[in-house]
Chain A
Amino acid sequence: MVEPQPKKRKDAFSFFLLVAVFVIATCGLVYELVAGALASYLLGDSVLQFSTVIGVYLCAMGVGSYLSKGIDGDLVRWFVRLELLVGLVGGISGPLLYASFHYLNSFAVLLYSLVGLTGILVGIEIPLLMRILSDRFSFKELVSRVFAVDYLGALLASLLFPLLLVPYLGLIRTSLFFGLINTGVAWWILYRIDETRPFRSEAVKLAVPISLLLLTGMVAAEKMTAWVEGSLYPDPIILAKSSPYQRVLLTGNKKEIRLFLNGNLQFCSTDEYRYHEALVHAGMAGLRKVENILVLGGGDGMAVREILRWPQVKRIQLVDLDSVMVEIFRDHSFFRTLNNQSLKNPKVTITHADAFNWVRHDSTMYDFIVIDFPDPSNYSLGKLYTETFYREVQKRLTPQGALVVQATSPYIARRSFWCINTTLKAAGLMTLPYHCYVPSFGEWGFILASPAYNLQFNLKLPPNLRFFNETVFRQMLVFPLDMSTLDVEVNKLNNQALVHYFEKDWGPYNQQ
Chain B
Amino acid sequence: MAGLSPVVSSCNKRTWNDIPGQLNMPNARLGHQLRESISLPNPSKTIRTQVLIIGGGISGLSARRWLQKAGINDVWLLELESEVGGNAKSGSMQGLQHPLGAHYLPVPQPDQPELLEFLQEAGCIIGHDINGLPEYNPYFLCHDPMERLFLDGRWMEGLVPSFGLSELDQKEFQRFFEQMATLKKALGQDGKALFKFPLRVGSRGPEWLDLEQQSFASWLELHHYRSPLLFEYLRYCCKDDYGADLSQVSAFAGLHYHAARQGKGANASSDDVLVWPEGNAFLVKALMGNASQIVTGHLAYQLQLNKKGVTVQTLSANESYQIEAQSVILAVPASVAHRLLQPIRPQTPALNLQRAPWVITNLLIDNLPEKGRMSLCWDNVLHGSESVGYVIANHQLTDRYKPRRLLSHYWPLVHENLADVRQSLMNLTREAWLEKVENELKPVYPDLRAHTLEANVWIWGHGMVRPSTGLLSSQVFMEATKPVAGRIFFAHTDYSGISVFEEAFDQGIRAAQEVLQRG
Contact = CB atoms under 8 A, between A and B. Distances in A.
Given A493-B144, A494-B143, A380 B138 contact: no
Interface residues of B, number: 18
A379 interface: yes
B144 A244 contact: no
Contact of A494 (B138, B375, B402): B138
B144 A379 contact: yes
B268 A354 contact: no
A110 to B, nearest CB: 21
Given A378-B375, A379-B375, A495 B399 contact: no
B144 A380 contact: no
B138 A492 contact: yes
Nearest to B137: A388
A325 B268 CA distance: 39
Given A387-B138, A388-B138, A494 B144 contact: yes
A245 B401 contact: yes
A224 interface: no
B267 interface: yes
A360 B141 CA distance: 17
A388 B141 CA distance: 12
Contacts of A383: 143, 398, 400
B400 A321 contact: yes
Contacts of A245: 400-401
B466 to A, nearest CB: 31
A494 B142 contact: yes
A146 B400 CA distance: 65
Interface in B124-144: 138-139, 141-144
B272 interface: yes
A416 to B, nearest CB: 15
B113 interface: no
A282 interface: no
B403 interface: yes
Contacts of A389: 398
A494 B268 contact: yes
A189 B511 CA distance: 104
A381 B143 contact: no
A496 interface: yes
A321 B400 CA distance: 9
A493 B145 contact: no
A61 interface: no
A387 B399 CA distance: 16
A493 B401 contact: no
Contact of B401 (A380, A386, A496): A380
Instruction: Name, among B139, B142, B375, B400, the residue most crowded by chain A CB atoms within 10 Å (CB to CB).
Output: B400
Interface string A347-361: 000000011110010
Contact of B403 (A244, A321, A357): A244
Contacts of B375: 378-379
Given A379-B375, A493-B138, A494-B272, A354 B401 contact: yes
B268 A356 contact: no
Given A378-B375, A379-B145, A496-B145, A388 B139 contact: yes
Which of A356, A384, A494, A495 has most chain B Cβ within 10 Å?
A: A494
Given A378-B375, A379-B375, A496 B143 contact: yes
Question: At the interface, is chain A mostly helix, strand, loop or mixed?
Answer: helix
Contact of B143 (A355, A378, A384, A493): A493
Interface string A27-52: 00000000000000000000000000
A497 to B, nearest CB: 8
Nearest to B136: A494
Contacts of B399: 354, 356-357
A499 B143 CA distance: 13
A273 B401 CA distance: 30
Nearest to A359: B398
Contacts of A378: 375
Nearest to B272: A494
Contacts of B141: 493-494
Nearest to B399: A354
Interface in A364-423: 378-381, 383-384, 386-389
Contact of A356 (B146, B272, B398, B402): B398
Contact of A360 (B146, B267, B398, B401): B398
B141 to A, nearest CB: 4
Nearest to B144: A496
B144 A354 contact: no
B107 to A, nearest CB: 10
A357 B397 CA distance: 9
A150 to B, nearest CB: 44
Interface in B431-480: none
A357 B145 contact: no
5 contacts: A244-B401, A321-B400, A379-B143, A494-B267, A496-B143
Interface of B: 138-139, 141-146, 267-268, 272, 375, 398-403
Given A380-B401, A492-B267, 13 more contacts: A321-B400, A356-B399, A379-B375, A380-B402, A383-B143, A383-B398, A388-B138, A492-B144, A494-B268, A495-B144, A496-B143, A496-B145, A499-B144
The 9 lowest CB-CB distance pairs between A and B, nearest first, are: A496-B144, A356-B398, A388-B138, A494-B141, A493-B143, A380-B400, A354-B399, A493-B138, A495-B144
Interface of A: 244-245, 321, 354-357, 360, 378-381, 383-384, 386-389, 492-496, 499
